[in-house]
């Protein structure tokens, strides 16, 4: 058995404070990765809606220490064959996915995406809307999340179209 001195009483530990709903400067923490989505992980490449996501890991960059460094993950689905003939918000699903990725890449780079490739690298920054929502796991705890369908904004720049 091992006993450790924690340096303080556990009753004195402060709970993490939620970020107020607002736009925050966020930085890409690591180069994004392409990872299989849940359908692909669960059923393989022939599963319905199987595909890949771009996984973007971000952290808040803020002068307030209680805000600075908060980490978030954004999943950007890449278009796949199951998108054919499907519409999302009145737009073909494939186009919707490409537009979302291009919007994020444009905000992070400060330049409009051209052609069929978007580049996102560690260290890029943009303003992301962070909201509060009830955690699905317990149905009562509030937590922060990136607003998944609100496009980020370039820092100090104008809105860009991809």
Q: Pick from 120, 122, 121: which is nearest to 103 by CA?
A: 120
Q: What is the pTM of this model?
A: 0.85
12 in a domain, yes or no?
A: no
Q: Report in angstroms the alpha-carbon separations of 123 from 26, 27, 152.
A: 9, 6, 15
Residue 123, pLDDT score? 97
Helix (H) or strand (E) holding 64, with range, is none
User: In terms of DSSP H, where are the helices of 21-145?
Assistant: 38-43, 93-109
Q: Are 60 and 11 in contact (CB under 8 A)?
A: no
pLDDT at 161: 54
Asked whether residue 134 is domain-assigned, the answer is yes
- The reply to whether 90 falls in a domain is yes
pLDDT at 159: 57
Assigned domain for 6 exists: no
**Residue 99, pLDDT score:** 94
As a whole number of angstroms, the distance between CA 91 and CA 113 comes to 19
CA distance 118 to 3: 51
For residue 119, give both structure tokens: 């580049």
Judge whether 53 lies within some domain: yes
Confirm whether 93 is domain-assigned: yes
Partners of 53 in the beta sheet? Answer: 35, 77
One pLDDT digit (tens) per residue for the chain, 162 residues:
999 999 999 999 988 889 999 999 999 999 999 999 998 888 887 788 888 999 999 999 999 999 999 999 999 999 998 888 889 889 999 999 999 999 999 999 999 999 999 999 999 999 999 999 998 899 889 999 999 889 999 998 655 554
* Structural domain span for residue 54: 19-146
Domain count, the chain: 1
Question: Is 83 inside any structural domain?
Answer: yes
């Amino acid at each position: 058995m091992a006993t450790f001195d924690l340096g303080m009483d556990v009753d004195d530990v402060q709970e993490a404070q939620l970020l107020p709903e607002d736009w925050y400067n966020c930085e890409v923490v690591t180069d994004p990765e392409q990872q299989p989505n849940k359908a692909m992980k669960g059923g393989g490449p022939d599963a319905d809606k199987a595909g890949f996501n771009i996984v973007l890991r971000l952290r808040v960059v803020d002068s307030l220490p209680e805000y600075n460094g908060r980490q978030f993950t954004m999943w950007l689905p890449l278009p796949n064959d199951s998108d054919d003939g499907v519409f999302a918000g009145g737009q073909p699903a494939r186009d919707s996915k490409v537009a979302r990725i291009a919007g994020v890449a444009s905000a992070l780079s400060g330049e409009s995406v051209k052609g069929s490739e978007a580049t996102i690298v560690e260290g890029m920054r943009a303003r992301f809307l962070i909201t509060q929502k009830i955690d699905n796991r317990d149905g009562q705890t509030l937590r922060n999340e990136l607003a998944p369908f609100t496009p980020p904004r370039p820092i100090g720049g104008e809105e860009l179209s991809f």
